[in-house]
Amino acid sequence: MANLIPGETARILLVSTTEEMRDEVGEALTGRAGDYRLYWVSHPELAAGRATDLLPHVILVDDALGGTPPSMLIGQLSARMPGAAILALLDPGAIGEAREAVLAGARGFVIKPLQPEQFLVTVRQVLGTGRAPVSGSSAAGESVNGRIIVFCAPKGGTGRTTMAINTSVALHQVTSMPVVLVDADYAAPALDVALNLQGERNITELLPRMSQLDQDLVAGVLAEHVSGIHVLLAPPPADLSKPISLPQVQQVLSLLKRMYPWVIVDLGLPLDETAFAFLDGADRITMSVLPEMIGLRNTRLMLDQLHERGYPDEKIWLVLNRASLRGGVSVSDIETRLHVRVKHTIPDDQPLATLTVNRGVPAVLSHRRSALARAYRKLAAALAQEMPERVTPAGEAGVRAPKSGPLRRLLRREAS
């Protein structure tokens, strides 16, 4: 199980046959534990399946299981979820059971009735130490702590996917850093066609193995584009039997952030819980809009949704696509109507945009000197420059915008 990513809610699964135990744990967490979510399963035989779906960070196993030995269940859960931290909830006289629980795979135990402060200390300790380390760190012990940039749009046809693709390739060019692009439009995936990657593996190959997910598994599913970026493709809609869950999204993002300095997400509609899982983990939300009135109305509605969810204005960048469209709404009018600053503009060159998608070659590669490609590179440079230095939890230097080289030269050239 990966460490908590910024903004992620800690998932705690309680296995107990009694509602009283559920209420006792809930009361101990309420108002004291921070950003936690408690789940309860009352039938021990269903616990392993529930844990596989939920991907909990902590599993609490009550010793009152109606005849099921706690150590046996702990052993099953430990084998199924090797990264989760398991705690046994025991009666005061159950010292023998405590030993068996630890031998079976529990990280520790808590005596009932719960003492809230002591219980929370134990939970916080196992949240910090209870999960296996993520492989793939550098030889010096440093860990990548990447940025997540989510591209979204209030409606289809805004050029969101084309913008995400070209910005990803441009980021790789101007920063010389690895970039991974994620297709999160599960209703209408497009990256496979737009990047000429048909027939490649996709995220569905990871879903049955989420409890054992590591960087090697993820790397084996990623497609490599000729530009040098890597891509996590979405399946055809018919191949996705049920929506990808919030815990699954969080775990995949957590691993990708440790593998890549830049994680770019092409997010489709609707804005359901899966979509908000991507948005919750985003460092920057880049919304592409068109200079036409219906699109502006939908943009206002989407901005309202994001604000209701608690996203601050500074987290959201409005990017006007096809800004030079003849008869389109001007930038000043858009800013007046939406009360939001347009952060960046992309010129109108629909024939070129269509050509590059049909050929499967991004404009920043095939038409480097075009106004369209220059605008995408400028957007990529602005994202790289705007992101402050990232420091890993261990204190090592993390991802930062270069102080010299291609990025600085590009910024000077675009400003002149």
Reported as a single tens digit per residue, the pLDDT across 207-224 is 888 777 788 889 999 999
Q: Is the pTM of this model over 0.95?
A: no
CATH fold group of domain 10-129:
Rossmann fold (3.40.50)
Reported as a single tens digit per residue, the pLDDT across 92-110 is 877 678 888 888 888 888 8
Phi, psi of 17 (to 5 degrees): -85, -5
Determine the angle formed by the axes of helices 160-175 and 371-386, rounding to 10 degrees: 70
Residue 281, pLDDT above cutoff 80: yes
Q: How confident is the model at residue 392 (pLDDT cuts 50, 70, 90)?
A: very low
Return the sign of the alpha-carbon dihedral for residues 279, 285, 286, 292: positive
Q: What is the mean pLDDT of residues 331-349?
A: 95
Query: Is 147-415 the same fold as 10-129?
Result: yes
Q: How confident is the model at residue 391 (pLDDT cuts 50, 70, 90)?
A: very low
Reported as a single tens digit per residue, the pLDDT across 252-265 is 888 899 899 999 99
Q: Which amino acid is at 391?
A: V
Reported as a single tens digit per residue, the pLDDT across 47-61 is 988 888 788 889 999
Residue 225, pLDDT above cutoff 90: yes
CB atoms within 10 A of CB 260: 22
Residue 335 DSSP symbol: H
Average pLDDT, the chain: 84
Reported as a single tens digit per residue, the pLDDT across 140-164 is 334 567 899 999 999 999 999 999 9
pLDDT number for residue 8: 64
pLDDT number for residue 131: 38
Q: Are 144 and 261 in contact (CB under 8 A)?
A: yes
Q: Are 84 and 2 in contact (CB under 8 A)?
A: no
% of residues, the chain, pLDDT over 90: 54
Q: Token pair for residue 324?
A: 């030079």
DSSP bridge pairs for 341: none
Q: Token pair for residue 80?
A: 């199924």
Indicate the domain borders of the chain: 10-129, 147-415
Q: What is the mean pLDDT of residues 295-308?
A: 94
How many residues are there in the chain?
416
Q: What is the mean pLDDT of residues 305-323?
A: 93
Top-confidence residue, 395 or 19: 19
Q: How confident is the model at residue 341 (pLDDT cuts 50, 70, 90)?
A: very high
* Three-state secondary structure of 77-134: HHHHCCCCEEEEEECCCCHHHHHHHHHHCCCEEEECCCCHHHHHHHHHHHHHHCCCCC
Which of 12-26, 40-54, 268-282, 396-410 comes out lowest in average pLDDT? 396-410
Distance CA 243, CA 237 (A): 10
SS3 category, 217:
helix
Tell which CATH architecture fits domain 147-415: 3-Layer(aba) Sandwich (3.40)
